[in-house]
Amino acid sequence: MELPVVRMRNRRSVPLADVPVLPVTETGVVLETAVATGWRIVSLFGLPEGADELRLIAVLGHDAAGQLAALSTLVGRRYPALTTRCRQAARFECEIAEQCGATPEGHPRLQPLRRHSPDHAPSRWSQAPSDAASYRFARITGGEVHEVGVGPVHAGIIEPGHFRMQAHGEEVLALDIMLGYQHRGVERLLESLDRARAIYVGESIAGDSVIAHASAYCGALEALARSHKSGRAQTIRGIALELERLANHIGDLGAMSGDVAYQPAAAYFGRMRGECLNLLMTISGNRYGRGLIRPGGVGFDIDEALAQEIERRVRHLETELRQVADLFFGTASVQSRLEGVGIVSRDACLERGFVGPVARACGVARDVRHDHPYGVFRYVQVPVATAWAGDVYSRALVRRLEIQRSIEFVAEQVRAIPKGDLRAPCDGLVPGELVVALEEGWRGEVVHVALTDDGGRIRRHKVVDPSFHNWPALAAAMPGNQISDFPLCNKSFNLSYAGHDL
Amino acid sequence: MNTTLSAAAALGVVIVLAPGVIGVAARTRAALTHRRGTPVLQLYFDLFKLLRRGAVFSDATTWVFRFAPVAVVVTAILAALVVPLDGRASLFRFAGDPVALAYTFAFGRFFLVLAALDTGSSFEGMGASREVTFASLVEVGLFLSFATLAVLTHELSLSGMLEAPLARASASGSAPAVAMIAGSFFALLLAECARVPVDDPATHLELTMIHEVMVLDHSGPDLALILYAGALKLSVLGAVVISVLVPRANLPPAVAIAVLAGGLLLVGVGVGIVEASMARLRLPKVPLYLAGASALALFSLILALWSAA
């Protein structure tokens, strides 16, 4: 069956008028059919239409075909939940209920995600905030079941989130995760701030994914402004993205070594993470790459001398990393901690639409750089790293493989930066268009969807951090595991709280 | 120097040196992972810092919570009294004192566990349950080792057993049994003192802790007492390992005590080497580790009985 959708490509805008509007029941059927034929929900969000109607826009992605698609439906204050037909819509509908004040009827688990008052509701709808007390934790009753709650304030220097486990002895039966402590109203800010300031919000969505979020944000703007950045800017962005991936993947391997109390690898990985951040600093003056990605291009150049320096340091890192990774992955006591813990099944991944290393670790070759190539990745193929077991070991292995490939990419590309301007003009957005910008951040698919109104102003800016998709994966991976393995399992996902809370 | 004075001097050395052994372990681990690490004297600094601080008590707790820190320190010192620290005779010795040693430690742990339950925190209850489970498994190996020593030396007090186990064993052709006991003791020491591979003293993750999560609610001087008692326990058990391996009955007392001090620092190095070379075990594997230590002790007992026959 030909789906009633408008086909799109990554960072190619389409007129909003081309997005079909279907009846809500038919939308559910289309989503169900689409997911059954290899599509997945990339984003689903509400757009107020007039004072009393909400337009739900669904963005779908087909990874094998490299295609994106959009469709929409108009709903009132109450509408039949799409989740009953398509499970991937579940969290998005919770978000819509909270942001827009619409109630999806028949939703199996309607929970507040961030606990704030609706900020994208049609003007005549009630503005009552979602209620923290209405969060219903999953509970298992029985004389021998006990409950372990952790957070929102944690022992380490990490972000706030509340985890509640139902356990039988040392075995976890269910895990519930309540987030939302970091909600800042990012989407509203991106819509309302002037463009000179908005980029600072764009790169602050998740503190460790500065490059990925800033690139996706700028990608959306550039498509709407018909701005064409030079090959030089594209390559520098690609290098920065891979350096960010390197720093975080290496840091994650180090954190996992620390969690299993394997000190040597923890110490070396920790130091090497710092070296990758320092590389970003030599380029942009900031360890996390703030200020590097700007609409129309990049804010800083990589000249010949710096390029040689980066290549030299990355090559040196490669040798050291191989030795430490061999040490880490080759130690029997480490392997026995990582294998078989926190398994995410391939079926669960396909059904629920997990992304990034979490998906690749259970054999789902899903990588925006490969499936929906953009920028420099249209010319340079980065192999997709996959593993099959879906456990902590596989997630660590995928990171190791990606580290190798990112080093290879940086070392090669830094020698071949094309000539060109750093920044192209990026002003004047085309009115009435919709664009989807995907970026493969180190955590997975970063999505920025932007819509312009008739005056060429941003009407709606939707952000989906990979953590939004993947937090349920952690909750699904824990049952049957030991309470004491939770920190390790959590670290193997290393999801963002701020990215989820927006 | 008479026996009592020598034993008292050895006790003094252990009491003073105990926090330093922990520091040596941490420093060794850091050096092996190419880090500078904390100063060897860090635990002394921490203890003084904590002693000068006030303590916070939850409204939910009772006198048990306040009593536990005192109980663990007192029991650790009492345990030290029955171990022949200088290699010849302990201050208190009687037939069957190995049982006293084991249960003096157990008595301190009993109060620590009660204090953990007293807080009503789910973390502390979880830690208490883990601690008790593993402690009961440690006893098996501990008593099998003592039984072996008793068979080898025909003595029933620690002082007699540890006077010259190696010489007695060599005489009866079962010297390997002594090495196996030392190995078993060291493995049990790592478990008893909450070190890698059983527990991780460096972690901040409550959910993975065993011993440390039990004492999360203690603060100030109480915490200092608990930390000190932990260090003392490591040194007392370390002294047992040293005595098994290095008979010192014929050495001058001063030399015997110097060997003790050096040996304790080496125990610290040993603990550090283990911690720098392997990851921690998964919790369900810990009983297997303890069963392994018990099996080692059991084989040494069989060897001792076989050569005695």
Angle between helices B286-308 and B122-153 (to 10 degrees): 10
Q: H/E element holding B20? A: helix B3-32
Token pair 């994914």 in the structure block, residue: A209
| Contact criterion met (CB < 8 Å) for A333 and B123 | no
The answer to whether residues A280 and A423 belong to one domain is yes
CB A73 within 8 A of CB A27: yes
| Chain B closest-CA separation from residue A139 CA (Å) | 16
Task: Tell me which residue of A207, A486, A270 sits closest to B283, measured CA to CA.
Answer: A486
Q: What is the CATH number of the domain that holds A27?
A: 3.30.460
| Contact criterion met (CB < 8 Å) for B278 and A155 | no
Q: Does B204 touch chain A (CB under 8 A)?
A: yes
Q: Which of A262, A488, A491 to mutate to test the interface with B (most CBs of B within 10 A)?
A: A262
Closest residue in chain A to residue B201, using alpha carbons only: A261
Rounded Cα–Cα distance for residues A87 and B42 (Å): 54
Give the rounded percent of residues in chain B with a pLDDT score beyond 90.
Answer: 67
Q: Please give the pLDDT value at position A449.
A: 95
Contacting residues of A for B126, CB less than 8 Å apart: 148, 483
State the residue range of the domain holding B117. Answer: 3-308
| Contact criterion met (CB < 8 Å) for A156 and B205 | yes
| Contact criterion met (CB < 8 Å) for B123 and A156 | no
Contacting residues of B for A331, CB less than 8 Å apart: 278-279
Q: Is the peptide bond before B253 cis (omega within 30 degrees of 0)?
A: no
Contacting residues of B for A148, CB less than 8 Å apart: 122-123, 126, 207
Q: What is the CATH number of the domain that holds A288?
A: 1.10.645.10
For A129-152, give the DSSP string.
PPPGGG-------STTEEEEEE-S
Tell me the pLDDT tens digit for each residue of A259-288. Answer: 998 988 998 999 999 999 999 999 999 999
Task: Tell me which residue of A280, A342, A285 sits closest to A313, measured CA to CA.
Answer: A280
What average pLDDT does the structure give for chain B? 91
Residue ranges of chain A with pLDDT lower than 50? Answer: none
Helix (H, G, I), strand (E, B) or coil at B199: coil
Domain end residue (candidates: A131, A146, A178): A131
Helix (H, G, I), strand (E, B) or coil at A460: strand
In this predicted structure, the answer to whether residue B207 has a pLDDT above a threshold of 70 is yes
The total number of structural domains in chain A stands at: 2
B247 CB-side CA count, 13 A: 16
Smallest Cβ distance to B279: which of A147, A148, A260? A260
Contacting residues of B for A488, CB less than 8 Å apart: 208
| Chain A closest-CA separation from residue B152 CA (Å) | 35
Residue A41 carries which DSSP code?
E
Q: Does B279 touch chain A (CB under 8 A)?
A: yes
Smallest Cβ distance to A156: which of B29, B200, B204? B204
Closest residue in chain B to residue A334, using alpha carbons only: B279
Asked, for residue A470, whether it belongs to a domain, the answer is yes
| Contact criterion met (CB < 8 Å) for B197 and A337 | no
Q: Which of A146, A162, A484 to mutate to test the interface with B (most CBs of B within 10 A)?
A: A484
| CA distances to A290, A400, A404, B19, B303 from A242, in Å | 15, 13, 11, 46, 60
| CA distances to A116, A158, B205 from A155, in Å | 26, 8, 7
Rounded Cα–Cα distance for residues A3 and A326 (Å): 48
Residue B307 pLDDT level (bands cut at 50, 70, 90): confident
For A120-131, give the DSSP string.
S--TTS--PPPP
Tell me the pLDDT tens digit for each residue of B215-233. Answer: 889 999 999 999 999 999 9
Asked, for residue A139, whether it belongs to a domain, the answer is no
| Chain B closest-CA separation from residue A73 CA (Å) | 46
The answer to whether residues A264 and A398 belong to one domain is yes
| Chain B closest-CA separation from residue A484 CA (Å) | 4
User: Looking at the DSSP assignment, which residues form a beta bridge with residue A423?
Assistant: A297
The answer to whether residues A74 and A192 belong to one domain is no
Smallest Cβ distance to B279: which of A146, A170, A333? A333
| Contact criterion met (CB < 8 Å) for A148 and B126 | yes
Closest residue in chain A to residue B129, using alpha carbons only: A169
Asked, for residue A53, whether it belongs to a domain, the answer is yes
The answer to whether residues A97 and A209 belong to one domain is no
Asked, for residue A291, whether it belongs to a domain, the answer is yes
Tell me the pLDDT tens digit for each residue of B82-112. Answer: 999 988 888 888 999 999 999 999 999 999 9
Contacting residues of A for B206, CB less than 8 Å apart: 150, 155
| Chain A closest-CA separation from residue B107 CA (Å) | 25
C-alpha torsion B248→B250→B253→B258, nearest 10 = -40
Q: Please give the pLDDT value at position A4.
A: 87
Q: Please give the pLDDT value at position A1.
A: 61
| Contact criterion met (CB < 8 Å) for B276 and A148 | no
Token pair 């955590």 in the structure block, residue: A443
Neighbours of A199 (CB within 10 A): 21
Asked, for residue A344, whether it belongs to a domain, the answer is yes
Q: Please give the pLDDT value at position B142.
A: 94
| Contact criterion met (CB < 8 Å) for A333 and B285 | no
| Contact criterion met (CB < 8 Å) for B29 and A337 | no
| Chain A closest-CA separation from residue B195 CA (Å) | 10
Q: Please give the pLDDT value at position A444.
A: 93
In this predicted structure, the answer to whether residue B277 has a pLDDT above a threshold of 60 is yes
Task: Tell me which residue of A201, A218, A244 sits closest to A410, measured CA to CA.
Answer: A244
Asked, for residue A166, whether it belongs to a domain, the answer is no
Q: Please give the pLDDT value at position A132.
A: 63
| Chain A closest-CA separation from residue B204 CA (Å) | 6
The answer to whether residues A222 and A317 belong to one domain is yes
Closest residue in chain B to residue A163, using alpha carbons only: B207
Smallest Cβ distance to B203: which of A150, A261, A268? A261
The total number of structural domains in chain B stands at: 1
Token pair 């820190």 in the structure block, residue: B69
Rounded Cα–Cα distance for residues B32 and A264 (Å): 7
Asked, for residue A152, whether it belongs to a domain, the answer is no
Q: Does B126 touch chain A (CB under 8 A)?
A: yes
pTM (predicted TM-score): 0.92
The answer to whether residues A222 and A316 belong to one domain is yes
State the residue range of the domain holding A493. Answer: 186-501
The answer to whether residues A124 and A204 belong to one domain is no
Domain end residue (candidates: A88, A110, A131): A131
| Contact criterion met (CB < 8 Å) for B126 and A150 | no
| Contact criterion met (CB < 8 Å) for A485 and B282 | yes
Q: Does B54 touch chain A (CB under 8 A)?
A: no
Instruction: Please report, for chain B, how many H helices and E strands are present, in that order.
Output: 12, 0
Q: Please give the pLDDT value at position A139.
A: 85
Which tokens in the block code for residue A154? 């944690």
The answer to whether residues A111 and A207 belong to one domain is no
Contacting residues of A for B190, CB less than 8 Å apart: none
Task: Tell me which residue of A440, A388, A63, A469 sits closest to A249, measured CA to CA.
Answer: A440
Interface of chain A toward chain B, CB-CB under 8 angstroms? 146-150, 155-156, 170, 257-264, 266-268, 331, 333-334, 336-337, 341, 482-488
Tell me the pLDDT tens digit for each residue of B168-205. Answer: 888 877 888 889 999 999 999 999 998 989 888 888 88
Asked, for residue A175, whether it belongs to a domain, the answer is no
Rounded Cα–Cα distance for residues B94 and B101 (Å): 11
